[in-house]
Amino acid sequence: MQESNMAGWQRKQTSVEKGIVIPDEWPGYPLELFSLPEHYSEDLDCVYIPHGVIMDRIERIARNILEDLGDHDIVVLCVLKAGYQFCADLVDSIKVLCRSSSKTLPMRVDFIRLKSYLNDQSTEVLHIEGAENLSVLSGKAIVDTGKTMKTLLNHVEAFKPKMIKVAGLLVKRVPSGTGYLPDYVGFDISNRFVVGYALDYNEYFRDLNHICVISDRGKLKYKI
């Protein structure tokens, strides 16, 4: 195992890719250091993961996927809505890498929509819409309790794909978690409600480039 620290973040490399581990005590960056929409000026506590860091991490995941799956013909299953930006940037990164690699990765893209949140709480009711012909690589923005992903995988397995690989941008450390870990992980984070980079709170905050922590005022303002 190799470990290194940068700006309070701990990067761990093991035989299983666990992503960048952001410790529970990580305070995030002050909002005034970044360019943010004025309409959210009082609705956020901090910038948790800057956009540039997200993009660098996605490029590394793309390299890992190309190394593992190169020369296969795959279907990328984008999990909407929160996963659309992650999936789009991941696919773009893979395409760029393919242009300078001896490996190729032909990709088709399909979409499926999941909804399991009300305000900032994950509910027991999961709605699955779309995708009738599925195959290998799934892209999801957040894996928290793992229950949603297990339900989705059961749904996908019914189509009898040759293999399934899951890429998750964020994995939350939650007490009620099932211990599920995607094959490719961007960041391992504490149990905080984050928004931005297509992650929403009742459909708001998808227009943020950075991943941020929503404030109590923001939760109250956009609560339904």
Q: Can you give the length of the chain in residues?
A: 224
Q: What sign does the CA torsion over 94, 134, 151, 158 have?
A: negative
Q: Do 167 and 183 form a contact (C-beta atoms < 8 A)?
A: yes
Alpha carbon separation from 200 to 113, 134, 159 (Å, rounded):
14, 26, 30
Q: Rounded to whole angstroms, how far apart are CA atoms 60 and 58?
A: 5
Is 72:163 a contact under the CB 8 Å cutoff?
no
Catalytic (active-site) positions: 144
Closest by alpha carbon to 132, among 72, 69, 75? Answer: 75
* Antiparallel, parallel or unpaired: β 44-49 and 194-195: unpaired
